[in-house]
Structure 1
Amino acid sequence: MYILVSYDINTIDSDGKRRLRKAAKICLNYGQRVQNSVFECKVDEGQYLLLKHQLYEIINETVDNLRFYRLGKNYKKNIESMGFNKAFDIEGSLIL
């Protein structure tokens, strides 16, 4: 499944900055960063549950927010991008 993960981590203190770095590292294990706190990920159901669990373990529920969007099988029709786009086709070849 193709999902979009976004988060808003409160970075007013050093603990928040640590949570922000950890959230990014976790998300990079499952997909690619397309904006500062937005990741596109292609995962199976088990990976999806593990990703959610790992992120839930590090956030502070009183000040942080996680959002997960399931984009479905026809996700390419649902994505529109304007301006500079450094993302790559997650299903395409990685030959440089």
Structure 2
Amino acid sequence: MYLLIVYDVDVKRVNRVHKFLKSYLHWRQNSVFEGEVSKAQFNEIKTSLKDLIDETRDSVMIYKFPSKKYVSLYVLGIEKNTIDFIL
């Protein structure tokens, strides 16, 4: 599955959330990550994020798609942190 994760967390927790998500996904720009994950990884991400954030103050939105082929990207302005894969 393909995930797009957008978050707004307190400055005290933002580095931990960023570092955690970077271990699974590609950083696109401030508070935005995306990438392919397995179902098990998706469950790990959800569980770990619940432990990392304060659900009464922070916000994490996870957009889930069956695969990347269902995602269309349109960039206005500068595209940051492009995802390039070299085989």
* TM tier relative to shorter chain: 0.7 to 0.9
In the TM superposition, what is the alpha-carbon distance from 1:81 to its structure 2 partner? Answer: 1.7
For 2:35 and 2:45, the matched residues in 1 are separated by: 10
For 2:70 and 2:51, how far apart are their aligned partners in 1? Answer: 28
| 1:59 CA displacement | 0.5
Alpha-carbon displacement from aligned partner over 1:24-69 (angstroms, at most 9, x marks no partner)? 0111001111111010121000001001111110100111011100
In the TM superposition, 1:45-64 aligns within 5 A as: 45-64=39-58
In structure 2, C-alpha distance between the alignment counterparts of 1:57 and 1:44, rounded to whole Å: 20
The CA deviation at 1:75 is 3.2
Alignment of 1:23-42 (within 5 A): 23-42=17-36
**Which amino acid in structure 2 is aligned with residue 4 of structure 1?**
L
The structure with more radius of gyration: 1
Residue aligned with 1:40, SS:
strand
Give distance in 1, aligned partners of 2:64 and 2:56.
24
Paired residues, number: 85
The answer to whether the 8 Å contact 1:5/1:41 transfers is no
> Per the alignment, in what secondary structure is the counterpart of residue 55 of structure 2?
coil
Q: How does 1:1-96 map to 2 (within 5 A)?
A: 1-11=1-11, 17=12, 19-73=13-67, 74-76=69-71, 78-85=72-79, 86-89=81-84, 92-93=85-86
Partners of 2:29 and 2:4 in 1: CA distance = 11
Runs of 4+ that moved beyond 3 A:
none
